[in-house]
Amino acid sequence: MKKSLFSKFKDYNYILDKVLEEKRFSEDAKNLLLNMIYKIENSYKDYSQIKGIFETKNNFIDGIIDNVSKYCNYLFLIDPKKEEVKMLKEQNVLALTDEREKRIYAYPTELAILYGLIEIKPKYYYISKNYYYLKDTFQGLLVEGTVLNNTEVIRNFNGWSWNLAEDTNINHVANMIYQATRILIDEDFLKEWEQNTSSKIDYIYEMRKELLEYYGKDCSRRFYLAMARLIVAYSLIKKRDKVKEEYDKVYFAYDSMKNKTEYIYKISQEKKKLTAEIEVKDRLLNDSKGLINEFNKRNSKLSDDMKIFNVSALADILQTERQKCIKRIKELNELVKPLNYSQLKNELAEKLNILSVVVENKSLRSYAIDFQKEALKCFYDNLNKISTKDEIIDIIYKMRYYRKIRITENEKIEDVAVLNDYVQKILKILVTKGCKEKVFNIFCKDIEFNYEIIEKALNTAIANYEDIDIELKIEDEVLEIYVYDNEILDTQTYIKYPLTNKDLAVKQNKRIPMYVM
């Protein structure tokens, strides 16, 4: 990220004050902005650690202040007790923005103001017209995912703890898609997509290319299809009839291609018809009497405001119609080429697969689970490429964060059995590799119990794993596990333990760092 003119400063109160001198904000709005920056400064370390964010705190805050400077001329705080709060409640948002007028209407909270400042910055997320059946919904989800991603710094973090309860009232589909793409590909990829105003780059194609490089042909294809099906399933809430209409068109087109002989015959018939039309137009263009008759014939069927001006204008129209026929014949010639035929058939099959959610009797939750299953398979199938300590630690952190992502209001990934199975498989491989590479201390000689002990510590909200100590105690075939955050006991849990003290690799009642120091 390019550094702004503020990056060299550290006193953000001073920086923000200088920007606010040019704004007509109320004193309450200014104070909330200053409090918002203070909260970000306090929370950013834990936020970046837990999410695996590489953007520096300075750059992040610079970006927020830059938004105030460039995109917000008016900041109106909406009193929850007054009538105007209806406009926020109707949209179910913390803030409403007007990019053109550079206005923000927000609840009087730091989170609502941050939401408005992230939302008001223009976001493009250009999607090629080839993906018209995804375009509007996908763009909307990416925009909302961006806002949710960047407001999490104070939505879920307060400088002392990671508060997952705050993620209940958000768009879970938008958050899932954004976070999966951010973690599986790269946050810089999403930022480039967000801010690139050019229509020349097909970012869905680029995304699929990145996925293919990282995760292979099968995993990348399944992930994309599951994501596209989730997007379409989400769009059914408002656009079911439109999606069904498009599904029927694609089904007809695909069905017509299944019998290759019949398909080629239909193409041939259309070409004959077009060739005949070209011949008719050529005759008219070379026959002045015929051209006048055609002029009178066409005008007799047109309203006064739509009539053709003169015979010369009709000749231009006929030339245009003739060129369209020629262009269509060229397209049909391309369609019957073996390679193009196969490619088009495959594209239609994929599109049909995506749009078929409209005729399937499944809930949005089931598509969300399918999507997360494919995302976790990408993680799992890529584990054999991980070898260094830094890579192990990076994925351990990402998996701790990822398992807490909600798929519904009341369910996180780890709450769904089929998804949690993948989480546990991934973590078990990572912990085993981590012990071999001396990332983790070994607590038990038995691999299964050693994993269970470390997994209990990994599944805490402690921001920095380097601060974790583990203490063990055996009592009546129960292993008591105490997890410390520095000097403070964070978690006390138990597992059944039929082994003995000799099977432990550490002494009982002694705090041992989880990480090899």
In a domain, 200, yes or no: no
pLDDT tens for each residue of 348-362: 999 999 999 999 999
One domain, residues 390 and 252: no
295 belongs to a structural domain: yes
418 part of a folded domain: yes
> In this predicted structure, what is the pLDDT of residue 294?
86
User: What is the layout of strands, in order, in the sheet containing 488-496?
Assistant: 488-496, 478-485, 468-475, 512-513
Give domain status of residue 64, yes or no.
yes
Q: Are residues 432 and 444 in the same domain?
A: no
Query: Is 352 within the bounds of a domain?
Result: yes
d(CA 434, CA 150): 31
* Tokens 């002990």 found at: 453
The domain boundary, picked from 303, 332, 365, lies at 365
Residue environment code for 304-332, b if the CB has 16+ CB neighbours within 10 A, otherwise e: eeeebeeeeebbeebeeebeebeeebeee
400/295 same-domain check: no
Coil, helix or strand at residue 95: strand
Query: Which residues lie below 8 Å from residue 301, measured CB to CB, with a gap of 6+?
Result: none
Token readout for 430 is 């990572």
Does one domain contain both 478 and 497?
yes
CA atoms within 13 A on the CB side of 82: 7
6 occurs within a structural domain: no
Are the C-beta atoms of residues 353 and 245 closer than 8 Å to each other? no
> End of a domain among 317, 334, 365?
365
| Collapsed DSSP state (helix, strand, coil) of residue 488 | strand
The answer to whether residues 283 and 244 belong to one domain is yes
Do residues 130 and 244 share a domain?
A: no
Instruction: Kindly state the tokens that stand for 55.
Output: 């953007």
CA 365 to the chain's CA centroid:
17
Geometric angle at alpha carbon 165, from 105 and 68, rounded to 5°: 30
Helix axes 27-51, 12-20, angle to 10 degrees: 140
* Alpha-carbon dihedral angle through residues 387, 393, 394, 397, given to the nearest 10 degrees: 140
> Is 125 within the bounds of a domain?
yes
Distance CA(31)–CA(325), nearest Å, equals 66
* DSSP assignment string, 194-248: HH---SS--HHHHHHHHHHHHHHHHHHHHHHHHHHHHHHHHHHHHHHHHHHHHHH
Stretches where the chain sits below pLDDT 50 are: 1-9
Q: What is the DSSP letter of 78?
A: P
Do 244 and 272 reside in the same domain of the chain? yes
Contact (Cβ atoms closer than 8 angstroms) between residue 114 and residue 106: no
Q: Which two tokens stand for residue 510?
A: 């002694």
Q: How many Cα atoms are found within 13 Å in the side-chain-facing hemisphere of 113?
A: 24
The residue out of 168, 195, 222 marking a domain boundary is 195
pLDDT of residue 10: 60
Among 19, 122, 141, CA closest to 75: 19
Q: What is the pLDDT of residue 298?
A: 86
Q: Is 45 in the same domain as 158?
A: yes
pLDDT at 3: 42
Asked whether residue 330 falls in the same domain as residue 220, the answer is yes
The count of structural domains within the chain is 4
Domain identity same for 461 and 415: no
In a domain, 409, yes or no: yes
In 72-134, which residue ranges form alpha helices assigned H by DSSP? Answer: 86-91, 110-120
Whose tokens are 């002392």? That residue is: 160
Strands (E), 383-510: 468-475, 478-485, 488-496
| DSSP letter (8 states) at residue 122 | -
Asked whether residue 42 falls in the same domain as residue 185, the answer is yes
Q: Per the structure block, which two tokens stand in for 334?
A: 């391309």
Task: State the residue range of the domain holding 90.
Answer: 12-195
28 and 163 assigned to the same domain? yes
